[in-house]
Amino acid sequence: MFYNEVGQFKTSYRADQALFPIRQDLIALGVFLIFLYAVVPFTFNNFWLNTVVIPTLIFGVATIGLNILTGYAGQLSFGTGAFMGVGAYTAFKLTTYFPEINIVILILTSGVTSAAIGLFFGIPSLRIKGLYLAVATLAAQFFLEWVFIQMHWLNNYSESGAIVAPTRTLFGVAITGPSATASARYLVVLSIVVLLTWIAANLVRGRFGRSWRAVRDMDIAAELIGISLFGAKLRAFAVSSFYCGVSGAMLVFFLYGAAEPNVFDINRSFSILFMVIIGGLGSIYGSFLGAAFIWNLPIIIRLIPLALGLRVEPVYTEFLTSMIEGALIISVLIVEPRGFARLWQIAREKLRLWPFPY
């Protein structure tokens, strides 16, 4: 009833092609953004910001990145972790050489390096697809991880082999390094995430997004229509790696503060892939739902026994978490193979007709 678009007439194609053609969606988004900007930073404590909110946002960006490549363009990749690493190491080296340039600009720039590397490893996609391409991207994962470990120049020859985010400021407030508050980091992350999400939504609805989906759905027909398969695929690799790179850089600078190469290992690639699948292939907001689910599930599972006052031996916690997590992922996929995005879409369709069943 309250979610009813009756009376909202579209009188131009511009209005019909808007990102949120239904007025209620726009209002809901506005309220949600105000909540994120005005309420969250002042009411959520450091624990919630550091363990739940900031990581969900950061991994959401990597998930959008992989979703563009896999969900929209149909190219399977196992190299997400490595591309995130490229962004992180580039941002670290850039801020070492140019400490006077704002870190936010450097983080976005480091995404460009990641895009270039992604472009290179995307070249095999012209010849191979599906699982074969996935194996080729696996090579990128292992090669880049090896580079992160072996090239000490990348970590400024630090003894631990880790990169440590130095203190950098924005408008005089520390946003990275040990002295940055969780709220300050959160606000910067949120702003970058909002910008990148908006850009991703724009890209996928325009001609580039259509060419990606066309290649995904029927590459032969796409080619005969005049879409350059090579161009579309490489563009998807570049844009995807850009998002992954920025996400990786944010992970080190705004969340962990320091990182070793194993932060960007194959497990990272898989967990981002799970986020994409659980969230829904080919959905921007689904990416955040997937990231929130996969990242926060183990945290919630660990909190449940505490909340119930049960004592679980630490040795078992890890096993239990993995088992419950796995079972939940499988049940979500059985309920809706197309992920949370599809569930949300069904809910919306029902809501539009509510209180009538059809």
Q: Which of residues 232-251 bind another protein (CB under 8 A)?
A: 235
Pick from 42, 157, 160, 207 the residue near another protein by CB under 8 A. Answer: 207
Interaction between residue 252 and another protein (CB under 8 A): no
Angle between helix axes 266-279 and 54-66 (nearest 10 degrees) is: 80
> Which of 14-20's residues contact partners 24+ apart within 8 Å by CB, and which partners?
17/205, 19/201, 19/202, 19/205
Interaction between residue 224 and another protein (CB under 8 A): yes
Interaction between residue 310 and another protein (CB under 8 A): no
From first CA to last CA, the distance across the chain in angstroms is: 13
Residue 166, helix vs strand vs coil: coil
Angstrom distance (rounded) from CA 280 to CA 340: 6
Residue 177's Cβ-count burial label (10 Å; 0-12, 13-18, 19+) is middle
Q: Which of residues 147-206 bind another protein (CB under 8 A)?
A: 199, 202-203, 205-206
CB neighbours of 250 closer than 8 A, spacing ≥ 6? 58, 61, 107, 189, 192
Angstrom distance (rounded) from CA 354 to CA 348: 10
CB neighbours of 330 closer than 8 A, spacing ≥ 6? none
Number of other CB atoms surrounding residue 41 within 10 Å: 18
Q: Of 221 and 312, which CB lies nearer to another protein in the complex structure?
A: 221
Angstrom distance (rounded) from CA 45 to CA 50: 9
Pick from 220, 307, 308, 310 the residue near another protein by CB under 8 A. Answer: 220
Q: Of 66 and 222, which CB lies nearer to another protein in the complex structure?
A: 222
Q: Of 182 and 276, which CB lies nearer to another protein in the complex structure?
A: 276
Interaction between residue 222 and another protein (CB under 8 A): yes
Residue 166's Cβ-count burial label (10 Å; 0-12, 13-18, 19+) is middle
- The size of the interface with another protein (CB under 8 A), counted in residues, is 29
Pick from 126, 225, 347, 351 the residue near another protein by CB under 8 A. Answer: 225
Pair type for strands 258-259 and 163-164: antiparallel
Interaction mask 4-33, another protein, x per CB under 8 A: ---------xx--x-x--------------
Angle (CA) 342 212 263, round 5° = 75
Pick from 27, 126, 221, 330 the residue near another protein by CB under 8 A. Answer: 221
Q: Of 318 and 349, which CB lies nearer to another protein in the complex structure?
A: 349
- Nearest distance from residue 312's CB to another protein, in Å? 44
Q: Which of residues 257-296 bind another protein (CB under 8 A)?
A: 282
- Nearest distance from residue 33's CB to another protein, in Å? 18
Name the one range near another protein by CB under 8 A: 82-90, 148-156, 222-230, 272-280: 222-230
Q: How many alpha carbons fall within 13 Å on the CB side of residue 156?
A: 14
- Nearest distance from residue 8's CB to another protein, in Å? 15
Pick from 227, 250, 263, 284 the residue near another protein by CB under 8 A. Answer: 227
Pick from 25, 223, 265, 336 the residue near another protein by CB under 8 A. Answer: 223
Report residue 9 as tokens: 């007439």
Q: Of 55 and 279, which CB lies nearer to another protein in the complex structure?
A: 279
Angstrom distance (rounded) from CA 201 to CA 197: 6
Interaction between residue 226 and another protein (CB under 8 A): yes
What residues line the site for another protein (CB under 8 A)? 13-14, 17, 19, 199, 202-203, 205-208, 210-211, 213-214, 216-218, 220-228, 235, 282
